[in-house]
Structure 1
Amino acid sequence: MKAAPFAYCRPDSVDEAVGVLAGGDAKVLAGGQSLVPVLAMRLGRPGTLVDITRLPGLDALVIEDGQLHVGAAVRQRALERSSLAGAVPLVGRALPFVGHRELRSRGTVCGSLAHADPAAELPAVAACLGASVLVRGPRGERVVPAREFVTGAMTTGLGPDELVTGVRFAVAQPGEGFGFAEIARRHGDFALAGVAVRVRGSSATLAAFGVSDRPVVRELTLDDPTEAGLRPMTDALAHEIVDTDGDAHGSRGYRARLLGVLAARELARAHREAHR
């Protein structure tokens, strides 16, 4: 199929882009790796595409005030290959699992957050790390915690006249450990289940994805940080939070089993890293 007819706009400033969005029936185009397939299948029929790829300042990739700032036009592959990715290890570990290299060469970090696919890696990483999403609209800029940004499957708190201008991740601190893992039928496929974890001392944050309509975050205490010692807790946790229906690729019980195993393994690994 081909996309339905639409108008194309390449604004010169963020304010101009917001003005076009405020006119209604418009969608933001950054990397296009999620939007273009939707258009091609005519699952979406916006009247106007607002291309933000060349807007000044949206290509920023810098560390400021202890945070890694990633602009809305920064490609996933650019961040993956940047030396700055090492400042936020969990992001660096997750990026190679996002689709395929060719898709990451066009897809943007913020675009993945705005698309809010339940099986996407980056929304879960952002939620695990307590990242902040920067949003601009007619009423100015606001900062939305990543854990509140995604409100459901393919749904965010972004207004129709707003656009994401960037995301900020806190730089890793000494004594922190991280873990990331997912199970998919093939590398680059949507995850059947996945986890992103951060550990400091005996405290841990876990974000699960692919098992609900949005990333599910839990704060945990690691009384026994070995994989065997963690399994009873992670198995119980998995059966609590997995609420997606089964499909041809795996039942709800199978996904819970995957999540329990992955969570225990990555929590134990992150704990060892934190205590080196």
Structure 2
Amino acid sequence: MLIEGALKSGYVDWRHWLPCDSAVAMPSERQGDPPPFTRSTAREAGWQWRIPLQHRDGNGYVYSSAHLGHDDAVANLTERLPGKALADPNRLRFVAGHRRVIWNRNCVAIGLAGGFLEPLESTSIHLIQTAIIRLLALLPRDGFDPGVAARFNRETINEVERIRDFVIAHYALAGRDDTDFWRDIAAAPIPDSLAERIAVFRATGNILFEPGDLFGPTNWYCVLAGQGARALSWHPIADGLAPEELARRLATLRGRVAEQLAELPPHTAYLASLAR
């Protein structure tokens, strides 16, 4: 009401890169032992989540309303539930993007007031925390300094843009063309900053990142390589180990991981211990 209704801060709309603008959520009965991870599955007009909880599963379908109607989204999600539905579907609507001016005069938009990214990487709480930390560091004793607000806006927008690129990469590298949604994704341009990351990785094997990035080289490698991007070269420091020595070290690492895994309790038993 304040940041837009009174101050007219404007909004940067990212739907040309992230067309999903709707979601339907529905809990269901849990079937069997819960896996120790959230599963995200690409669907015909977006993606579906399944979050295992102690006594139920959380499910949802994030989709583009330009490619799928609400009733069809509900039907598709209901059909794919792992167990019996425990509640009626909850509909959500959003627009990916951010306020053009996040700190505007005496008003600071934090959390959903400042913008939204679909929950493919569940970054909303992180962005709330970093915005609060940034605000506390820059908060003036009294009055209002436009320079301080401009710095806050610049750093906040830079952070959310880097996360945006990570989310877009999941779509841009998917390689699907079996529905109108995925064909439109494949035909859409991507931000220059993301195109640079992908090009550098493919040419050299290096992963560009900035200090303080939420998603570091390991995260980016999993998405880039996992979605089929292949590096044509590698960092020269990798030539410092002979192939035999590298194989020995990797075998040792795999052995240590297996030993530690054998000592851990099953996921269900660990959850039960927390509830005692």
**Is the structural similarity TM-score above 0.5?**
no
Q: Normalising by the residue count of structure 1, what TM-score does the alignment of the two structures yield?
A: 0.25
More helix by share: 2
Q: Normalising by the residue count of structure 2, what TM-score does the alignment of the two structures yield?
A: 0.25
More strand by share: 1
Which protein has the larger Cα radius of gyration, Structure 1 or Structure 2? 2
